C-alpha cells in the first residue's frame, strides 16, 4: 500500500456498487473510484488510471482528477486551517482529503506559521507508516524553478510586485514572485516579519548581481509623513530649483504667510524631512536631496 499512494497508478476494475467502482493493483489492495466524478462508467475487467491516496475516511481511493502536487512534483497548495499540535492543512485539489504539512516542517515561531488563505509550494512525502504529508519546497527546489531578474526587463525600481514567502531566516525573508523570480526582504525593510506562505505586495529596491530582487514592505517615506511635512515636500518639488529660502531660524510671520502654519509646526516638518534625508540645509534655506527628488 505504502508504495502506491501519492502517485498515478493503473488498476484493474473488479467490482462496483451504486456509489463506487472498485479496482485492484496486481491482485493486492483494493481502491474505490467515486462514480460521481466519472464522465462514463468503467468496465469490469478493464483498467483505470488515476491518482491514488487514502481519503479522510481512511479508505484507499483513486481519482481521475489528478492534483498537480504529487510525489517528486511540486505545485502550489492553499492553506485551509492549522492545528498547533500537528501542523497546517493544505488543499491540493482532492475532494475529500487535505494534505498536512507537519509542524516539523514549519517555523519554530508559531506566529510565522501559514494561515488560512496563504499558499505553499509543496510536494508529497511518505513516512515509514505509509502516511502522506506535504513537504514545502526547499531552497534548491525553489532556485531550480526560478529565473533571474534583471532591471529593465519588465522590472524597475519602485514597482509594486506580489510575492509569496517560502522561507523565514534571521538574515531576512525569502520570497518567490508571481513570475518566479527570487526576492529578498531585509529585516530593515519590514515592520513585522511576514508569515511562511503569506502573499505580500512589496516595492522593488533593485536587483543584485545574482538576479535576486531586493524588496521592501515599508511605504515610501512621504507616505507616512504628517500633513505638514508632506506639504513642505510638495512645495520644494514645485520650485524650479527645488529650493526654499526658509530654515529653522526664519521669521515666524514669514513662515505663516508662506505655508499657513506656525514656526513650531514648520520645525517639526523640517525635522521629519531631515530625518528621512529628503532635504538638506544650504545657504539661506533648504533644498531637496536626490532621494527627496526621487520620492524614495
pLDDT tens sequence across 261-270: 888 888 888 8
Chain segment 10-28, per-residue pLDDT in tens = 999 999 999 999 999 976 8
Encode pLDDT of 41-58 as tens digits: 999 999 999 999 999 998
Minimum mean pLDDT range among 80-89, 197-206, 218-227: 218-227
Say what the pLDDT of residue 44 is: 96
**Confidence (pTM):** 0.73
215 and 183 Cβ atoms separated by less than 8 Å: yes
CATH 2.40.50.330 is the classification of domain 2-63: yes
* H or E stretch at 270: helix 263-275
Options 2.40.50.140, 3.40.50.970, 3.40.50.1010, 3.90.1150.10; CATH of 75-137: 2.40.50.140
CATH, domain 147-216, list 2.102.10.10, 3.30.540.10, 1.10.3720.10, 2.40.50.140: 2.40.50.140
172: left (phi over 0), alpha (psi -120 to 50) or beta: left
Q: What percent of the chain has pLDDT over 90?
A: 67
Tell whether the model's pLDDT for residue 1 goes beyond 50.
no
pLDDT over 50 (residue 121):
yes
- In whole angstroms, what is the distance from residue 24 CA to residue 48 CA? 10
Amino acid at each position: 500500500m505504502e508504495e502506491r499512494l501519492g502517485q498515478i497508478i493503473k488498476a484493474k476494475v473488479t467490482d462496483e456498487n451504486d456509489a463506487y467502482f472498485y479496482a485492484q493493483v496486481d491482485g493486492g489492495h483494493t481502491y474505490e473510484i467515486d462514480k460521481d466524478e466519472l464522465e462514463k462508467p468503467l468496465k469490469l475487467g478493464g483498467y483505470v488510471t488515476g491518482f491514488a491516496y487514502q481519503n479522510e475516511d481512511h479508505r484507499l481511493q483513486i481519482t481521475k482528477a489528478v492534483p498537480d502536487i504529487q510525489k517528486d512534483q511540486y505545485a502550489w497548495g492553499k492553506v485551509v486551517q492549522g492545528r498547533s499540535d500537528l501542523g497546517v492543512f493544505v488543499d491540493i485539489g482532492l475532494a475529500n482529503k487535505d494534505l498536512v504539512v507537519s509542524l516539523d516542517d514549519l517555523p519554530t515561531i508559531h506566529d510565522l506559521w501559514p494561515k488560512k488563505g496563504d499558499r505553499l509550494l509543496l510536494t508529497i512525502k511518505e513516512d515509514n507508516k505509509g502516511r502522506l504529508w506535504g513537504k514545502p519546497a526547499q531552497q534548491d527546489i525553489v532556485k531550480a524553478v526560478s529565473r533571474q531578474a534583471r532591471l529593465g526587463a519588465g522590472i524597475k525600481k519602485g514597482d509594486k510586485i506580489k510575492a509569496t514567502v517560502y522561507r523565514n531566516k534571521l538574515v531576512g525573508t525569502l520570497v518567490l514572485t508571481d513570475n518566479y523570480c527570487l526576492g529578498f526582504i531585509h529585516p530593515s525593510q519590514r515592520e513585522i516579519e511576514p508569515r511562511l506562505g503569506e502573499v505580500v505586495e512589496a516595492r522593488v529596491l533593485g536587483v543584485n548581481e545574482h538576479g535576486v530582487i531586493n524588496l521592501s514592505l515599508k511605504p515610501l517615506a512621504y507616505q507616512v509623513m504628517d500633513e505638514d511635512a508632506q506639504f513642505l515636500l510638495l512645495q520644494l518639488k514645485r520650485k524650479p530649483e527645488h529650493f526654499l529660502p526658509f530654515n529653522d531660524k526664519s521669521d515666524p510671520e514669514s513662515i505663516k504667510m508662506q505655508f499657513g502654519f506656525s514656526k513650531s509646526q514648520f520645525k517639526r516638518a523640517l525635522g521629519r524631512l531631515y530625518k528621512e534625508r529628503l532635504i538638506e540645509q544650504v545657504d539661506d534655506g533648504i533644498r531637496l536631496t536626490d532621494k527627496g527628488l526621487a520620492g524614495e
